[in-house]
Amino acid sequence: MRTRVISILGCALLCAAPQAWSIPGASLDDDGSSAPKVTASPRDAAVYGDALALMKQGDALGAPAAAHDAYASARAKLQSLVARSPQFAEAWNALGYTQRKLGAFDDALASYGKALELRPGFPEALEYRGEAYLRLHRLHDAKQAYLDLFASNRRIAATLLDAMKVWLTTPQNARGVDAGEVTDLKEWVQERSQIATQTAALTREGAAASWR
């Protein structure tokens, strides 16, 4: 799972977790959001950091059954955190991640929606929501999530496109999905991959836009 260094209120807290987990008020990537960043209190930052450590543990374990307890513990911490600090967009995003890993996809969508309400255009929430759409067989919505990301953050858009490729290569994912929809998604992913490659040099990031 991709990792980044997280800086919490000037403290040297390193939490390798999926995507760009970060604390509002610390050094954040520019995601194009015009929403003001809310500074987390030391207490909230500590709880958030503990949850990220548990999420990292769950990611490292890999197998859903083995990782369940770590994700469940992280979810409990994050549920308590957003109840106390409902403006903490990153915590909502992380909560959605744990819910998705635990198979509660509708709950995850609600949490990602809250994160995006607080931080419109929040790229990590858009990407994770796209992955939840895939698991719910909402393929059209997953495509739209990619297009939204491609317009604003091609690096993270590439992550969602990779998730689509993995979804397509795992037969059980498509159970219950019309074969025509699966074929259409496969062709669409191929086309979008070509477009991303052809236009990478035209972006602000140049060749780096084709990350991964």
pLDDT per residue over 40-98, tens digit each? 889 999 999 999 999 999 999 988 888 999 999 999 999 999 999 999 999 999 999 99
Q: How many angstroms separate the first and last alpha carbons of the chain?
A: 12
Residue 203 to residue 212: CA distance in whole angstroms: 16
Quote the pLDDT of residue 115. Answer: 97
Domain ranges of the chain: 1-25+38-112, 137-212
Mean confidence (pLDDT) of the chain: 81
Give me the torsion for CA of 110, 39, 45, 84, rounded to 10°.
-50
What's the rounded Cα separation, in Å, for the pair 88 and 68?
A: 24
Give 11's strand partners. Answer: 8
Percentage of the chain exceeding pLDDT 70: 76
CATH 2.30.30 fits 1-25+38-112, yes or no: no
